[in-house]
Structure 1
Amino acid sequence: MSDLTVRRYEADDEDAVWDLHERALRDVGAYDEEYAHLDADLRRVESAYLDAGGTFLVGELDGALVAMGAVQSATAIDHHESDPAAAVVRRMRVDPDHQRQGYGSEILRELEARAVELGFERLVLDTTPRQQAAIGLYESFGYREVRREETPTGERIVYEKRL
C-alpha cells in the first residue's frame, strides 16, 4: 500500500501544482516557455475544473505534492469533442523523483472513479510520443489510441476509453 494521499485540489496548492507541472514536463523535454501561456488553467484550477463540473486531484507524500491529474468536461474546453458524456483527462503529472512508484496509477484510478460519479461515460486524453511512461500507463488502463495530430508543439497522440 502506498503512502500517497490523494485529495481534491485546494487554493493553497496553486504554486506547488505549477512547479510540479513544469518540472515533470522539463524532465521529458516537453516544456516550452513559448507555449506556457497555454497552461493558464493551472493558475485558475477552481474555475477551470472544480466549478466547471470536473475535478482536480493532487497526491501528497510526506507533505509534498508529487502527483496530480484532472478531469474536465470535454464541452467546457476546445478539445474537438462535443459529446456531453465525454470528459478529458488533463494535467497528469508525477514528480520525476517519484516516478515508477504507482502514483500515476493511483491518480488515474481515482480520476476514473470520480468521472463515473460525475456522470461521464467516456474519457479522452492526449500525450506526446516522447512521454513513453505516460503511454504505457494509459494503455495499461485500457485506453486505446484513436488518432495522431500535428500541433504547433509537435505530434500528439489522442486516446479514449469507455467507462
Structure 2
Amino acid sequence: MAGGPAPAATGRVPGGRVPAQGDPVVRAATGEGEPGVTPTLRIRRYRWSDLDAVWSLHQVGLAQVGISPGDGVYYDDDFPRITEIYLAARGEFLVGELPEAGIVAMGGLRRIDDRTAEMCRLRVHPDHQRRGYGAQIMQVLEERARELGYSLLCGDTTLRQVAALELYRKSGWRELRREARGDMVVLYLEKPLNGVVSPLFSR
C-alpha cells in the first residue's frame, strides 16, 4: 500500500482564521434498512477527526490502480493542510459516510483562480464502488462550486482509473489533453458550470 502513517495535522490556518467544521449535513442518507436499496451517502464537510480515515481511503484508492510514491503522479502533501488548502481558501472538502462502514467516499474543491476550481481527491472505497457514491460526491461538489462563484471546474485522472473516467464521461467533462508520466497516462479535464453536457471526451 502506498505511503505511510497519516501526516500530522498542522493546527490553525495562517492568519488565525479557522472556518467552521462539522457543518450541517449537506445531503442526508436515505433508504437505510430497506431490503434491496443501496443507502445514499450521508455527505458532510470534513473535520480534523476525519484525517486518518481520509488518509486511509486515499491510500486504498490509489493502491487499487497501482499508483504509488515516486511514480510522478502520487502526492499527499495537502492532507495535513485540508483546512488551509481547501476550506479556508474558497474551496470545499466533503466526506461520505455509511452507517456501518464510516467514511467510504470523499472529494474536494481547490481554488485555482477567481473563476476556476479544481475537483480533486475524488475517492470511493473499492468495497463500495459501482453504487453511485462517486456521482453523489461529484454532484454536491459541483453545486458547491456554483455557490462559491466558480464558472469552470478542472481536474485530472489516469487511464488506469477506469471508474473515475466513466464518471467524468457521464458527468459531461471535456478532455483537454493527455500527458505520459512514466508508465501512466494522465488525462486533464474541464467542465464549464453552465449546465451544458460536453460530448468532447476521447476514448
Give me the CA root mean square deviation.
1.7
Q: What is the identity, as a one-letter code, of the residue corresponding to 1:66?
A: V
Q: CA deviation at 1:152?
A: 5.4
Q: Which residues of 2 match residues 1-163 of structure 1 at below 5 A?
A: 1=30, 2-30=39-67, 32-34=68-70, 38-62=75-99, 64-75=102-113, 84-151=114-181, 154-163=184-193
Q: What is the identity, as a one-letter code, of the residue corresponding to 1:52?
A: A
Cα–Cα, structure 1 residues 151 and 67, in superposed 2: closer, same or farther, change >3 Å? same
Q: CA deviation at 1:74?
A: 1.3
Q: CA deviation at 1:28?
A: 1.4
Structure 1 CA distance for aligned equivalents of residues 85 and 43 of structure 2? 20
Verify the 8 A CA contact 2:69 2:75 in the aligned structure 1.
no
Which of 1 and 2 has greater Rg? 2
Q: CA deviation at 1:120?
A: 0.4
Verify the 8 A CA contact 2:91 2:111 in the aligned structure 1.
yes
With the length of structure 2 as denominator, give the TM-score of the two structures.
Answer: 0.72
- Identify which of structures 1 and 2 has the higher relative contact order when contacts are C-alpha pairs closer than 8 Å and 6+ apart: 1
Range that drifts further, 59-68 or 99-108? 59-68
1:115-162 CA deviation, whole Å, 9 max, x = no partner?
000000000110000111100001100001111123357321011110
SS at match of 1:39: coil
SS at match of 2:75: helix
Give the number of equivalent residue pairs: 154
- When you count helix as a share of all residues, which structure comes out higher? 1
Structure 2 CA distance for aligned equivalents of residues 12 and 120 of structure 1? 28
Q: What is the identity, as a one-letter code, of the residue corresponding to 1:126?
A: D
Structure 1 CA distance for aligned equivalents of residues 150 and 105 of structure 2? 23
SS at match of 1:44: helix
Structure 2 CA distance for aligned equivalents of residues 47 and 131 of structure 1? 28
SS at match of 2:153: strand
In structure 2, list runs of 5 or more residues that go unmatched.
Answer: 1-29, 31-38, 194-203
Q: CA deviation at 1:66?
A: 0.1
Verify the 8 A CA contact 2:159 2:184 in the aligned structure 1.
no
SS at match of 2:172: coil
Q: What is the identity, as a one-letter code, of the residue corresponding to 1:137?
A: L
Structure 2 CA distance for aligned equivalents of residues 26 and 37 of structure 1? 10
Verify the 8 A CA contact 2:40 2:133 in the aligned structure 1.
no
